[in-house]
């Protein structure tokens, strides 16, 4: 099997045709104009993965409300995905509505999801892709640790806000321990801009701890 380098932030999501529980999809083309979160899981019918899929489904409407789709995937056959969805609905009462990619290993290889020491299972990866098809956030988790879907939703919201408003998000935004729900103004890039920042901060609605650390209302 051909080896690919692992994708990097800012890379174009590689074009691929995938088989999913909702039919064949062409990525990223079929989702042009939308953000999407593609997340891999080690295997169907495993406890941690089951809790993750239920958690993602419970937030699916929140993701769709911000123009973002969810796509799951693992190296399992399509009938396994379908049966697992049925099990989740019958035993937990949650219907999985987003597509799940059935991978033969080619997608996992293309995206760097098979890691040393983890056999042939995919790691818990998260790719947040923007509406232009660019990789914006890449996260890798070991098989032993389930993901926090609220954090993934927060990450998408933060990146969308940053793109639209030219601001940066502080730690734990929108509940930062220093500046609350305010956002950070990108620091000036030279001496003149730094001096200008301090002279005009008040009229621009900035609060500054120093010339390099200014924040404003979101």
Please give the positions annotated as active site: 49
In the numeric block, the tokens 């909702």 are attached to 22
CA distances from 19 to 83, 100, 101 (A): 16, 8, 6
Question: Tokens for 16?
Answer: 């691929």
- The C-alpha atoms of residue 171 and residue 141 are separated, in whole angstroms, by 20
- The C-alpha atoms of residue 104 and residue 108 are separated, in whole angstroms, by 8
Three-state SS letters, 11-33: CECCCEEEEEECEEEEECHHHCC
Task: Answer yes or no: are the C-beta atoms of 159 and 136 closer than 8 Å.
Answer: yes
Question: Tokens for 65?
Answer: 């409300």
């Amino acid at each position: 099997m051909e080896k690919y380098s692992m994708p990097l932030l800012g890379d174009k999501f590689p074009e691929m045709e995938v088989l999913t529980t909702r039919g064949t999809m062409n990525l990223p083309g079929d989702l042009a104009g939308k953000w999407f979160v593609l997340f891999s899981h080690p295997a169907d019918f495993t406890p941690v993965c089951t809790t993750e899929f239920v958690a993602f489904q419970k937030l699916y409407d929140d993701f769709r409300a911000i123009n973002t789709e969810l796509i799951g995937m693992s190296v399992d056959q399509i009938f396994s995905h379908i049966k697992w969805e049925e099990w989740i609905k019958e035993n937990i009462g949650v219907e999985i509505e987003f597509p799940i990619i059935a991978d033969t290993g080619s997608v996992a290889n293309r995206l760097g999801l098979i890691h040393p020491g983890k056999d042939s299972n995919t790691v818990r990866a998260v790719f947040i892709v923007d509406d232009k098809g660019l990789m914006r956030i890449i996260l890798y988790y070991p098989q032993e640790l389930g993901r926090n879907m609220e954090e993934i939703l927060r990450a998408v919201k933060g990146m969308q806000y940053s793109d639209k408003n030219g601001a940066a998000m502080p730690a734990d935004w929108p509940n930062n321990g220093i500046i609350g729900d305010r956002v950070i103004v990108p620091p000036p890039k030279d001496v003149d801009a730094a001096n200008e920042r301090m002279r005009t901060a008040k009229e621009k609605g900035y609060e500054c701890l120093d010339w390099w650390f200014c924040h404003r209302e979101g």
